[in-house]
């Protein structure tokens, strides 16, 4: 099955700096890579996603890059703000209808702390 | 749009009792829902895939007789933790899969989670 590794486990940055979180996946069949933000005791919130036919996607301060050959993808947050502090999870899946399609395998999470 | 609810938000029960958790997609139909378990400071671990009108598919290591899943309608899936024990205490989160059609990407929307504490 799919295995997703995520680094770093904790990340502290100063407000206004950039933050980068990296993930690698093992299953070359995976073609969908979402990123979730989870605040303590809350549900994961989808913040950005990318499909395997695209190398980069950006949404305001958030961007995701994907390297299919190397099987890794990264989350980039620019101009970080204190409200960005949370746990971020990457995930991978493939969008098949059967045989385990759409099952998300999550990374281990990154605790991001944005300091004033 | 794409709202998923869970009930209850938290529950405390005695060891040996059973607890039912409901997951509802409020504004879309979901033939597929997922159940996850999350221990403190850990990632989400998929327990099972819930399919409307058919049996759930359980991940390796998850006891299907202990975690009963029923997906009786296109908007409701239930997880029953039978004979709960303290080690079952965890944060249980469901998600509902929104079908994006042939040319889109199906997206999972998560419920708010249920905190289960077994005494």
Torsion angle defined by CA atoms of residues A20, A24, A29 and A31, in that order, rounded to the nearest 10 degrees: -10
Q: A26: distance to nearest CA of chain B, Å?
A: 17
pLDDT tens digits in sequence order for chain B, 119 residues long: 689 999 999 999 999 999 999 999 999 999 899 999 999 999 999 999 998 888 999 999 999 999 999 998 999 999 999 999 999 999 999 999 988 776 677 889 999 999 999 99
Decide: B35 and B77 in contact? Cβ < 8 Å.
Answer: yes
- Residue by residue, DSSP assigns A46-110 as EEEEEETT-SEEEETTEEEEEETTTTEEEEEE-S--GGG-EEEEEEEB---SSSSTT--EE---E
Q: Alpha-carbon distance A81 to A116, whole Å? A: 8
pLDDT tens profile A71-111 = 999 999 999 999 999 999 999 998 765 555 688 999 999 99
**Chain B CB contacts of A104 below 8 Å:** 34, 44, 46, 95, 108
Contact A104 B93 (CB under 8 A): no
B32 in contact with A at a CB cutoff of 8 Å? yes
- Residue A109: per-residue pLDDT: 97
Identify whether the C-beta of residue B83 lies closer than 8 Å to the C-beta of residue B16. Answer: yes
How far is the first Cα of chain A from the last one, in angstroms, to the nearest whole number? 41
Residue partners of A98: CB distance under 8 A and separation at least 6:
none
- Report yes or no: B102 and A31 within 8 Å, Cβ to Cβ: no
Instruction: Tell me the two tokens of residue B70.
Output: 């029923």
Which of A3, A48, A104, A112 to mutate to test binding with chain B, by most B CBs within 10 Å of its CB? Answer: A104
Q: Which of B32, B42, B109 sits opposite A102 (nearest CB)?
A: B32
- What does the pLDDT look like over A55-68, one tens digit per residue? 999 999 999 999 99
Tokens of A53: 């036919």
Residue B22, token pair as written in the block? 């409901």
């Amino acid at each position: 099955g799919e295995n997703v590794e995520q680094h770093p486990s904790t990340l502290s940055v100063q407000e206004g700096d950039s933050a980068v979180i990296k993930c690698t996946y093992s299953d070359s069949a995976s073609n969908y890579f979402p990123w979730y933000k989870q605040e303590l005791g809350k549900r994961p919130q989808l913040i950005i996603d990318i499909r395997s036919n695209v190398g980069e996607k950006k949404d305001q301060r958030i961007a995701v890059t994907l390297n299919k050959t190397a099987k890794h993808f990264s989350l980039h947050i620019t101009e970080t703000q204190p409200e960005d502090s949370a746990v971020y999870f990457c995930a991978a899946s493939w969008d098949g209808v059967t045989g385990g399609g759409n099952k998300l395998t999550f990374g281990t999470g990154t605790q991001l702390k944005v300091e004033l | 749009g794409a709202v998923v609810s869970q009930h209850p938000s938290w529950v405390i029960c005695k060891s040996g009792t059973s607890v039912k958790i409901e997951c509802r997609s409020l504004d879309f139909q979901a033939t597929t829902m997922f159940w996850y378990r999350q221990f403190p400071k850990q990632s989400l671990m998929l327990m099972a895939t819930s399919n409307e009108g058919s049996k759930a598919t359980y991940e390796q290591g998850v006891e299907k007789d202990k975690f009963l899943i029923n997906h009786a309608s296109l908007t409701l899936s239930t997880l029953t933790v039978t004979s709960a024990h303290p080690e079952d205490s965890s944060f249980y989160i469901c998600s509902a899969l929104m079908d994006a059609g042939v040319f889109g990407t199906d997206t999972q929307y998560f419920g708010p989670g249920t905190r289960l504490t077994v005494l």
